[in-house]
């Protein structure tokens, strides 16, 4: 049976659980010998996209670059797991336009107050100290229906339950017996 290649894009606020779930998915696919690469928005921001700022056009370009890398990898038979905030519709529209039917969205949700309390990378603490701009006050546009197909609330469900739900969607999407 031919295994399809896809881009599994996890998006949501900082602290919602994107990275945790994306790494679990990457490891779960790799453990089953399914070709996979993980693209982390924070890693790419500090390397390939380090020349970009945080204005709307720079955020859009950041997502364009990540989507193009993901497309190139998927076209070569590698599944891609991506995690970025992607807070605006225009960013998600651009990603969807580049990736087309290779894309499967996962909206990782936690309310802002929970994300602030979790603050795994210390970003909210730095934002409240005035060291990081446009994090707390930056608008997070609610996902549209096609982006909410795989909605995971990391407050209502624990990490393992969220991961198993992602894995079920990935299994269906890849149509692979190995998962």
CA 166 to chain centre: 12
DSSP 82: E
The CATH code that applies to domain 7-174 is 3.40.50.300
**pLDDT band for position 3 (50/70/90)?**
low
List Cβ neighbours of 7 (8 Å cut-off, separation of 6 or more): 67, 70, 71, 74, 79, 80, 81, 82, 99, 102, 103, 104
* Alpha-carbon torsion angle 68, 149, 167, 112, nearest 10: 80
- The confidence score (pLDDT) of residue 177 equals 43
Tokens of 37: 């690469």
CA distance 111 to 154: 9
Helices (H), 76-119: 89-99, 112-118
Per residue in 31-67, pLDDT (tens digit) is 999 999 999 998 998 898 878 877 888 889 999 999 9
In the chain, domain spans: 7-174
């Amino acid at each position: 049976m031919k295994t399809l290649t896809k881009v599994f894009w996890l998006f949501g606020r900082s602290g919602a659980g994107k990275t945790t779930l994306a790494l679990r998915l990457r490891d779960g696919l790799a453990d089953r010998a399914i070709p996979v690469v993980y693209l982390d928005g924070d890693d790419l921001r500090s390397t390939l996209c380090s020349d970009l700022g945080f204005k709307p056009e720079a955020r859009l370009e950041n997502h364009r670059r990540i989507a193009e890398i993901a497309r190139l990898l998927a076209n070569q038979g590698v599944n891609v797991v991506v995690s970025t905030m992607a807070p605006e519709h225009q960013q998600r529209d651009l990603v969807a336009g580049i990736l087309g039917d290779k894309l499967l969205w996962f909206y990782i949700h936690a309310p802002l107050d929970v994300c602030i309390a979790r603050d795994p990378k210390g970003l909210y603490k730095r934002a409240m100290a005035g060291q990081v701009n446009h994090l707390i006050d930056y608008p997070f546009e609610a996902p549209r229906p096609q982006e909410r197909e795989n909605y995971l609330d990391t407050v209502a469900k624990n990490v393992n339950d969220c991961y198993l739900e992602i894995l079920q969607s990935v299994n269906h999407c890849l149509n692979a017996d190995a998962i």
